[in-house]
Structure formats: structure tokens, C-alpha cells
Amino acid sequence: MKILVTGGVGYIGSHTVVELQQNGHEVVIVDNLSNSNIGVLDAIAKITGIKPEFENFDLADKTKTEDFFKCHSDIQGIIHFAAFKAVGESVNEPLMYYRNNLFSLVNILQSMKDNGVENLVFSSSCTVYGQPEKLPVSENAPVQKAESPYGNTKQISEEIIFDTVKASDIKGIAVRYFNPIGAHETAIIGELPLGVPNCLMPYITQTAIGIREQLSVFGDDYKTPDGTAIRDYIHVADLAKAHVIAVERMVKQKMKKDFEYFNLGTGNGYSVLEVIKSFEKVSGEKLNYKIVGRRAGDIEKVWADTNFANDELGWKAQQNIDEMTLSAWKWEQKLALNNK
Ligand code: UFG
């Protein structure tokens, strides 16, 4: 199958490209490199032996998107990752987020319609559930008002796809990620945060390697066993595999509805302190951290009900928290070696 991966040079995108190629699919990547590094293309080729076809342009540009689809009308499925994703930045620059994340989706859907491309896997987030009343959270839980423009773009995007599916031959799968961490087992690709990381795992590994002085743990007064917030961390390679299954499910016409939603998590929640403990255990490093106040907009706890994804996709996340933190550490060590 020929699959378009937008944002395929980025963190989750690059791991998904590897899995697609290793499952025999032909990949074409569109990425404007706004938050990614062109060197990742060679890194992908180093793992799989195949350098994916690549085009550098902004999918929010309607004409360029149309021109691209005219030349690639044989695409059978699209996995759409390309989007801005920094929660804090989206609060300061909402229009930048709405323009980038929504215009690109509308352009892709329009081109799909015009060119008879029917299958779209959309990269969504558990952020749509806010702080769920019931845990684990299932796909049937209500979507709650978004805390940030970033979160809102995910909700609006799902609605745009829903409405388009109703009015056309297009089919959609929204995959709602929990917290992806870790890196490819080869340590050839991984997360490459630009500047100071917002997310926990790269902040931990950058502190341990000496790039950051100290990790701040945001809040220890949550109603959780150790007082720190709980998330469902999932290995990025497990997440990548789920995308391959989702796009194959669409192309092979195994969908039960024309628009489906899946939670992609492990079903296990770990607190910030538990993630730190796992990291210290697998790395043998003592992490310099201190407890500070809560971070605005953070929820207390969330983890996935994975039954639907497990049953319907025949997929289950395999890697445990120690495997995740170890792979993130190996990746950080590899980056440090490369930068010497
Ligand atoms: N944390 C710290 N210190 C840090 C960074 C994070 O203590 O330096 C804590 C956070 O407070 C949170 C946990 O670690 O309790 C995980 O934080 P991340 O920033 O790694 O992940 P989030 O759960 O906040 O973010 C995720 C996705 C976003 C999504 C968001 C919505 O990464 O894309 O959930 O809640 F928008």
C-alpha cells in the first residue's frame, strides 16, 4: 500500500514510517520541518534500508497541497501527524495553532475528496477527555471543553472529520494517544525536542545527562497515592504499530463504522515519582529533582480503557514502564555521543 505520512519526520511520525516500511508499505512523507530535522530521513533509512520519498511543504498551503495530490493520486491511506503540539505556546499564539492545525486538515480532506483518496488516520489526544469522571477512560466518555487552543484544535479536527465522513466517501479513524515516550530500540531515532522540553520524559533524560540542572516535579498535593499526577505512558514503538494496523483496517475495509475512535494507551497509570523511580532503576543514575507547585492546566490523573482498541484492532501495547524509560535513556546517551 502507498501511504502518505504527514509530519513523518517528527517523533511519532518517524517511528510510524519505520513500522510501515517494515510491514511492506510504500511511504511518502510531507513535512515542512517546522519542528523536525531532515537528518531523520537518513536515520529511517539506516533502520529499514529504504529512504522514504519526501516533500517539504506546508499543508496549510492549499495550492501546494492540491498540486501534491495531483501527482500522488495513487495514495491509498493517509496518516496525519503534522500539527503544532505545545500546549503553552498555543495559549499565547492561538491563531497560529488554529491556522496550522485546522487549515492543513481542511486542505487534506478537500484534496482527498477531489482525488478519491478515502482513508484518513488522524492523530488525536486523550486531552479531549479533560479530567474524566470515570477511570480508566473509555472511548464513550464525554469530550470536555478543551483547556487550551491546542486541545481545541484536536476536538475541532475530530468534528471536521466526522462531518466530512457523513457527507462523502471518506472514512476516518481518530487515534487518541495517552503519553508517548521512549525511542526506537536501535536508538537511531527518538524524540528531538527543540529548546527546553515541556514533556516529562525528555526533561528527565536531559537532566540526567547534564543539559538541564534540575527537574521540577509539578505538584505533590494531588489526590493520588504519592501526591504526584498520574498518566498512561505508552512506548512510541507500540503507538507506531497501532497506526499501521489502523490504516490497514481502513484499506482492507474492516471498519465497523465510517468514523472510529480508539484510545491508544497501556491501561496502566504511573505517577511522576514512579516514572522517576523507574528511570533511576534502569539507568543507575540519581536524578536531581525538586517538588514545586502544580502546572496550570494539568489534570490530576488519567489512564486508558484499552479494551476497545485491544479487541477491535487486535493490538496491545507490549512495553512496560522500565522498557520505556530505558529506551529514552539510551536515546539521550546516543544523542550525547553524536554531539561530542
Ligand atoms: N511534569 C513534571 N515536570 C516536567 C514536565 C512534566 O512534573 O518538567 C509532569 C506533568 O505535570 C504531568 C506529567 O509530568 O503530570 C506528564 O507531563 P507531560 O508534559 O509529559 O504530558 P501531559 O500529560 O501534560 O501532556 C500530554 C500530551 C499533550 C496533551 C496533554 C493534555 O503530551 O500533547 O497531555 O493534557 F495536550
Is position 192 within any domain? Answer: no
Domain count, the chain: 2
pLDDT reported for residue 338: 87
147 with 95, same domain: the answer is: yes
Tell me, yes or no, whether 176 and 287 share the same domain: no
State the Cα–Cα distance between residues 30 and 261, nearest whole angstrom: 24
Mean pLDDT, the chain, as a whole number? 97
Q: Is there a single domain that holds both residue 57 and residue 103?
A: yes
Distance 323 CA to ligand 1 centre (A): 19
- If asked whether residues 223 and 240 sit together in one domain, one would say no
Q: Residue 127 half-sphere exposure, CB side, CA atoms within 13 Å?
A: 22
Quick one: which H or E segment has residue 308?
helix 307-313
Residues 6+ apart with CB under 8 A from 337: none
- Grid cell for residue 263: 484510545
Task: Give the pLDDT score at 249.
Answer: 98
Residue with CA closest to ligand 1 atom 31: 127
If DSSP codes are grouped into helix, strand and coil, which group holds residue 227?
coil
Span 298-326, pLDDT tens digits: 999 999 999 999 999 999 999 999 999 99
For residue 339, the model assigns a pLDDT of 82
For residues 88-116, average pLDDT: 97
Claim to verify: residue 166 and residue 35 sit in the same structural domain: yes
Q: Which helix (H) or strand (E) holds 110?
A: helix 104-115
Q: How far apart are CA 202 and CA 11, in angstroms?
A: 12
Which amino acid is residue 105, in one-letter code?
A: L
Question: Are residues 225 and 277 in contact, defined by beta-carbon separation less than 8 angstroms?
Answer: no
For a mutational test of ligand 1's pocket, the pick from 137, 231, 275, 292, i.e. the residue with the most ligand atoms closer than 8 A to its C-beta, is 231
- Burial of 280 (C-beta count, 10 Å sphere; 0-12/13-18/19+): middle
Does the pLDDT at position 194 exceed 90? Answer: no
- The range of the structural domain enclosing residue 223 comes to 200-230+267-335
Q: Are 247 and 271 within one domain? A: no
Statement: residue 63 has pLDDT above 90: yes
Dihedral sign of CA atoms 91, 267, 177, 8 in order: positive
Do 58 and 163 sit in the same domain of this protein? Answer: yes
The per-residue DSSP string of 73-93 comes to TT--EEEE------HHHHHH-
Longest Cα separation, the chain: 56
Please report the atom of ligand 1 found closest to the CA of residue 203.
Answer: 8
Domain assignment present for 246: yes
Contacts of 169 (CB under 8 A, 6+ apart): 116, 118
CA of residue 58 to ligand 1 center, whole Å: 27
Is residue 255 within 8 A of residue 329, CB to CB? The reply is no
Q: Are residues 148 and 225 in the same domain?
A: no
pLDDT digits (tens, 9 = 90+) for 111-147: 999 999 999 999 999 999 999 999 999 999 999 999 8
pLDDT tens string 234-273: 999 999 999 999 999 999 999 999 999 999 999 999 999 9
Which residues lie with the beta carbon below 6 Å from any ligand 1 atom?
Answer: 85, 87, 125, 127, 150-151, 179, 198-200, 203, 215-218, 229, 231, 272, 295, 298-299
> Residue 134 corresponds to which cell in the numbers above?
470515570
CA-CA distance, 101 to 94, in Å (whole number)?
Answer: 11
Torsional sign, CA 307, 309, 311, 317: negative
Which residues are 259's β-sheet partners?
A: 172
